[in-house]
Chains A and B, each alone.
Chain A
Amino acid sequence: MTNKLNPYLSLYIHWPFCETKCPYCDFNSHVRPEIDQERWKRALLSELATESDLYPNRKISSLFFGGGTPSLMEPDTITALLQAVDQHWGIGNNVEITLEANPNSVEKTRFKNFRSAGINRLSIGAQSFDDKALKFLGRTHTAREVIAALDIARTTFPRYSFDLIYCRPEQSMDSWKEELTFALEFTNDHLSLYQLTIERGTPFFSSHRDEEFRMPDEDTAAEQYEYTRDVLSCVGLFPYEVSNHATPGEECRHNLTYWRYGDYAGIGPGAHGRVSDSGNKLAYHRISNPENWLLQTEKMGTGLQKKNKLTPKEILEEMVLMGLRLTEGLDLEEVKKQTGRSIENWVNPDSLVLLIEEDLLILTENKLQATQEGFLRLDSITSMLLANLA
Chain B
Amino acid sequence: MSEIKKIRNFSIVAHIDHGKSTLSDRLIQACGGLSDREMREQVLDSMELERERGITIKAQTVRLDYKAKDGNHYQLNFMDTPGHVDFSYEVSRSLAACEGSLLVVDSSQGVEAQTLANAYLAIENNHEIIPVLNKIDLPSAEPERIRTQIEDVVGIDASDAIAVSAKTGEGIVDVLEALVSRLPPPKGAANVSLKALLVDSWYDSYLGVVALVRIVDGCLKPGMKLKMIATGAIHEVDQVGVFRPKQDTVAELGPGEIGFITASIKSVSDCKVGDTLTEAKNGAVEALPGFKPTVPVVFCGLFPVDNADYEDLRESLGKLALNDSSFHYEAETSAALGFGFRCGCLGLLHLEIVQERLSREFDLELITTAPSVVYRLHLMSGEEMTLHNPADYPDQVQIKSVQEPWIKATIIVPDEYLGPILSLCTERRGEQDQLTYVGNRAMAVYYLPLNEVVFDFYDRLKSISRGYASFDYELVGYRENDLVRVGILVNGEPVDALSMIVHRSSAESRGRQICERLKELIPRQLFKVPIQAAIGGKVIARETISAMRKDVTAKCYGGDITRKRKLLEKQKKGKKKMREFGNVEIPQSAFIDALKMSDR
Contacts and interface: CB of A to CB of B under 8 A. Distances in A.
Interface stretch (B91-99, B407-415, B420-428, B551-559): B551-559
Contacts, number: 105
A378 B556 contact: no
Contacts of B565: 314, 317-318, 321
Contact of B548 (A322, A325, A350, A380): A380
Contacts of B568: 317, 321, 382-383, 386
A271 B554 contact: no
A252 to B, nearest CB: 11
A233 interface: no
Interface residues of chain B: helix, strand, loop or mixed (majority): loop
Interface in B531-571: 548-562, 564-565, 568, 571
A197 B555 contact: yes
A219 B562 contact: no
A349 to B, nearest CB: 13
A66 interface: yes
A114 B562 CA distance: 32
Nearest to B527: A358
B555 A243 contact: yes
A225 B556 contact: no
A171 to B, nearest CB: 14
B380 interface: no
B40 interface: no
A221 B554 CA distance: 11
A60 to B, nearest CB: 15
A149 interface: no
Contacts of A274: 559, 561
B559 A266 contact: yes
B561 A271 contact: no
Contacts of B564: 318, 321-322
Nearest to A360: B526
A242 B552 contact: yes
A283 B562 contact: yes
A242 B550 contact: no
A346 interface: no
B585 to A, nearest CB: 8
A272 B560 contact: yes
A115 to B, nearest CB: 23
A377 B551 contact: yes
Contacts of B525: 380
A204 to B, nearest CB: 14
A160 interface: no
A264 B559 contact: yes
A12 B559 contact: yes
A321 B561 contact: yes
A383 B555 CA distance: 17
B557 A27 contact: yes
B583 interface: yes
Contacts of B572: 383, 387
Interface residues of B, number: 26
A173 interface: no
Nearest to A10: B559
A354 interface: yes
Nearest to A272: B559
Interface residues on chain A, size class: 35 or more
A317 B572 CA distance: 13
B552 A377 contact: yes
A278 interface: no
A272 B552 contact: no
Interface centre among B527, B550, B575, by most chain A C-beta atoms within 10 angstroms, is B550
A273 B559 contact: yes
Contact of B571 (A196, A271, A383): A383
Given A285-B560, A376-B549, A218 B554 contact: no
A258 B559 contact: yes
B262 to A, nearest CB: 57
Interface string B517-537: 000000011110000000000
Interface in A293-332: 314, 317-318, 321-322, 325
A376 B559 contact: no
A66 B558 CA distance: 9
A124 interface: no
B575 A271 contact: no
Nearest to B549: A222
Contacts of A378: 551-553
A4 to B, nearest CB: 23
Contacts of A27: 557
Interface in A356-381: 358, 360, 375-381
Nearest to B557: A27
Given A272-B561, A317-B568, A384 B526 contact: yes
Nearest to B552: A378
A187 B524 CA distance: 37
A265 B549 CA distance: 36
Contacts of B571: 383
Given A274-B561, A321-B568, A218 B552 contact: no
Contacts of A384: 526
Given A195-B554, A377-B548, 13 more contacts: A64-B558, A196-B554, A242-B556, A255-B556, A266-B559, A376-B551, A377-B549, A377-B551, A379-B552, A379-B553, A380-B525, A380-B548, A381-B526
User: 9 closest pairs, A vs B, by CB?
Assistant: A222-B549, A222-B550, A272-B559, A378-B552, A194-B554, A195-B554, A380-B526, A318-B561, A272-B560
27 contacts: A27-B557, A194-B555, A197-B554, A218-B549, A221-B549, A221-B550, A222-B549, A225-B550, A241-B556, A242-B553, A242-B554, A242-B556, A255-B556, A255-B558, A273-B559, A321-B568, A325-B556, A351-B583, A358-B527, A377-B552, A378-B551, A378-B553, A379-B552, A379-B553, A380-B548, A382-B568, A387-B575
